[in-house]
Amino acid sequence: MRKTIIGIGGMHCAGCAAGIEKRLKGLPGVADARVNFAGELAFIEYDPAVVGIEDIRKAIIDSGYRPFPLPQAGDSSGQAAAVDRDRRSLKARVVISSILSAPLIYLSMAYTSVFPVQGLVLKYSAPIQMFLTTAIVICGFSYFASGFAAAFRQRRANMDTLIVIGSGSAYIYSVFLTVRSWLTVGLDARVHLYFETSGLIITFILLGKYLESTARARTSGAIKKLMSLAPETALVLRRGTEEQIPFAELAAGDIVIVKPGTRVPADGIVLEGYSSIDESMVTGESLPVEKTPGSQVISGTMNRTGAFRFKAVKVGGETFLSQVIALVREAQGSRAPIQELADTVASFFVPAVMVVAAGSGLFWMFAGRGAAFSLSIFISVLIIACPCALGLATPAAVIVATGIAAAKGILIKQASSIQRGEHIDTVVFDKTGTLTQGALRVTDTIAYGRPEDEVICLAASVERDSEHPVAGAILQEARSRGCALRGVSGFVAYPGRGVSALVDGEHITLGNRGAMAMKNIQLAPRAVEDAAFFEEEGKTVMFVAGNAGLYGIIALGDAIHDRAAEAVEILHRMGKRVVMITGDNRRTAEFVSRALSVDEVLAEVLPQDKERRIKDMQESGVKVAMVGDGINDAPALAQADIGIAIGSGTDIALESADVVLMRNDPRDVAFVLDLSKYAMKKIRQNLFWAFFYNAVGIPVAAGVLYPVSGFLLDPMIAAAAMALSSVSVVANALSMARYRRPYDMRKTLSEK
């Protein structure tokens, strides 16, 4: 199965998106399809052996809409250009219809004393109104086409269908009266026409859609900002000369030259030169990062000082920046569970409104109010109904929320994570690399009957092929002492305990107390006391043993993250319970726990047992967020209600967690949970007003207040109210831009 994202132009409402989605899901080989009206995107999972991209595009075209390719980083074409074209066209139609509506309103008062019309204009008022309204109908032809396509081609009514029936009824009825008067009375017949109703309905709809599209364009600002990070060209070294090439022509293996003030066009490895790079827009880290030969560089980052050359490893859609853009797009197109209610209502909404409109019109007709009165009721009910507000309520807020997070270096992969994040009451941190800096170093060495250097060399030899943080620290210490590593065979790892191997024929074990117990190695009282002393200081203790027993102790320290205490404090202030889980011994874990004031410590937990501990918490009724590195903690991250990978940004982390924090700041965990709560508040506000608007507007349009107060809703006012309802929902979502992180408005602990 493959996944693809296609832009879709020409959608006017959530019903359009639902119709396209149904059509795509009906294609053989399409496993899933989600169409996002707010983002104008289709997310499709398909089997390329059964259905191709062209088949999918053709299905969209046959539904009456326009597919277009999405732009990639460094590409100015695609969605942005297509959306801009649509918006310019819509703006032109708004201007034309507004100009034509002015004389139409004036002529509609031809037989009143307010604005008296004289001469030939009065005599030919009816045909002039018909001409002006016909021109306005042409401006809104796309809605008529979409409405008919939905009704006949897709056998599904949508918002455009309501507009077609409402404005079309007024137009056709007025044309009928005009023609009949010509044939029976003459050109100067004085008849009550509804041309201005039809024309102004279309004008208000066009104006509302223009305002809505302009507002929706602002919701995707995060994507545009990410897209702008990649340069349009790259300076490469080919055939011994510098050559400026388009970004799209950059290939893996190219030697790229980056000068001060320019952006890195690909992911790669620095070959020569020295520089300082601003990675804030990708990782969220504000301080520039120094780059020397061997350093990795990320596409889209800004080179501040110095020039360097690097080898392009990942280009185009394979770069980290492109992966981030794809993840943000997918998140913005995903559905939160709360949206299911709105989707269910919207699926029955239009047919129900048509029934209510027809029933209301017939009721007043049989009540003796006449055809004109009944037609006005019928049109008002059709026009004031607005499924668009329901369809936009959730996705608009999701798009803005994920965009806010992406701008801060946080990737929220699914909208469902936002909804689950609101209910989290317990946050479980893996210690190493989250609450601590994750960079272990050897702080102390004690040897028993052997030189210290030999103990270090034996330990480093066993760990020479390991990628564990402990191994890295011991190998770094061995290099600093000038130790020559020895030959190793029979390497065995004991997860959560240690490792062993044959070093020059001698069986060497390096590990914690559990490893020593497993190997039946006795620890002398002095060694136990030495180990306890280091553990009281919060250090990790590794024992080195061989055929002759215990050879020494290596103590390693991992400094507490300078923002960990503040992260825990903020979470406590938010009412969250904080738990630390680690494979370290209890003394080390409790030292860190006391320093950070966490609520509970789970120490000496093996990697395979972390998932079970998370599950136990969930079975007790709590909602758990697990914070880890996204690799070793993958099972626990998957089991938690929300898995958060911190300080990562690797491909594995992107796959294993629901949320990825691209910078190593534990405070961002509080940001994610607080943003989730804020976004859900906005979603509920949007849904409330969307439901409230329709619940009140439709009965009022049907004339429930007329017998009591004599109030009757004019169809033109109904059109204006409908247009503004969608705009208000999007505007409420955009107001989220005022959101500030829990720690943006207060001083850090160090500043206090």
**Residue (of 718, 692, 427, 435) closest to 578 by Cα position:** 427
CB atoms within 10 A of CB 528: 11
As a whole number of angstroms, the distance between CA 315 and CA 317 comes to 6
- Tokens 């030939």 belong to residue: 120
Could you tell me if 12 and 160 are in contact, meaning their C-beta atoms sit under 8 angstroms apart? yes
| Alpha carbon of residue 513 to chain centroid | 45
As a whole number of angstroms, the distance between CA 363 and CA 379 comes to 14
Please report the DSSP string for 592-643 in residue order: HHHHHT-SEEE-S--HHHHHHHHHHHHHTT--EEEEE-SSTTHHHHHHSSEE
Which strands sit side by side in the sheet containing 498-503, from one edge to the other? Answer: 441-447, 549-557, 540-546, 506-511, 498-503, 488-494
Which H or E run contains 227? helix 221-227
**Residue (of 320, 345, 540, 324) closest to 436 by Cα position:** 540
Which H or E run contains 219? helix 195-219
**Residue (of 309, 323, 317) closest to 269 by Cα position:** 309
Which of 278, 430, 584, 641 is catalytic? The answer is: 430
Region class of 510: left (phi > 0), else alpha (psi between -120 and 50), else beta: beta
- For residue 8, the 8-state DSSP code is E
Q: Tell how strand 498-503 and strand 506-511 pair up.
A: antiparallel
Instruction: List the structure tokens of 276.
Output: 């300082």
- Tokens 């030919």 belong to residue: 124
| Alpha carbon of residue 262 to chain centroid | 28
As a whole number of angstroms, the distance between CA 367 and CA 702 comes to 13
As a whole number of angstroms, the distance between CA 104 and CA 95 comes to 14
Helix and strand totals (H; E) in the chain: 27, 26
As a whole number of angstroms, the distance between CA 635 and CA 61 comes to 43
Q: Across the strands, what pairs with 233? A: 246
Catalytic residue flag (residue 254) = no
As a whole number of angstroms, the distance between CA 137 and CA 144 comes to 8
Could you tell me if 734 and 222 are in contact, meaning their C-beta atoms sit under 8 angstroms apart? no
- Coil, strand, or helix at residue 347? helix
Which H or E run contains 160? helix 159-184
Instruction: List the structure tokens of 658.
Output: 């629901």
Geometric angle at alpha carbon 342, from 339 and 348, rounded to 5°: 140
Catalytic center residues:
430
